[in-house]
Amino acid sequence: MARKRLDLVFPPQLSLKPIIYHLVKDYDLVPNILRAQIHPAQEGRMVLEVTGAKESYDAGVAFLEAQGLTVSEAASDIVLDEERCVNCGLCTAVCRPGALALDRKTQTLTFDKDKCVYCEACVIACPRRAITLSF
Ligand code: SF4
Ligand code: SF4
């Protein structure tokens, strides 16, 4: 069984085609869209978690690439440099899923991995460059 996060780039001509549907129907995969920016006739980006048998996963990725999508492995964790972090909380304001929060008692930053969708908003928001994504 494979479970991976993929970073997909859709060329403009594919932005409105039901590509992900085929992963379910033809490859018996379970896709979970974590993030998507898709607009008609523009290049689109999607972070997709895919679960399924290893052979199905490989075949599904080959299908995506054959359709013209660029497929790469997405970030699978964020790394907090505690020496750089000053617990200012700025990153919590941009973390829509609530994965980053300030502990009220200790006033220190906490991270809930299960809520993170790897959108990178915190990486950009942190003035101390204390957060990076790892693959
Ligand atoms: S914005 Fe940066 S310095 Fe501030 S709490 Fe978040 S990680 Fe720490
Ligand atoms: S990558 Fe996005 S979802 Fe994850 S902790 Fe940062 S802001 Fe929150």
- Domains of the chain from N-terminus onward: 2-73 (3.30.70.260), 77-134 (3.30.70.20)
CA atoms within 13 A on the CB side of 130: 17
Average pLDDT, integer, range 63-91? 92
Ligand with an atom nearest the CA of residue 94: 2
What pLDDT is attached to residue 1? 82
Mutate to test the pocket of ligand 2, among 119, 123, 124, 126 (most ligand atoms within 8 A of CB): 119
CA gap 47, 36 in Å, rounded: 6
- Report whether 96 contacts 119 (CB < 8 A): yes
pLDDT at 53 over 80: yes
pLDDT at 135: 67
pTM over 0.75: no
Amino acid (1-letter code) at residue 36: A
Contact 49, 3 (CB under 8 A): yes
Distance, in Å, from the CA atom of 52 to the CA atom of 70, rounded to the nearest integer, reads 20
When pLDDT is averaged across residues 31-58 and rounded to a whole number, the result is: 91
pLDDT, tens only, 38-49: 888 889 889 899
Mode of pairing for the β-strands spanning 2-10 and 70-73: antiparallel
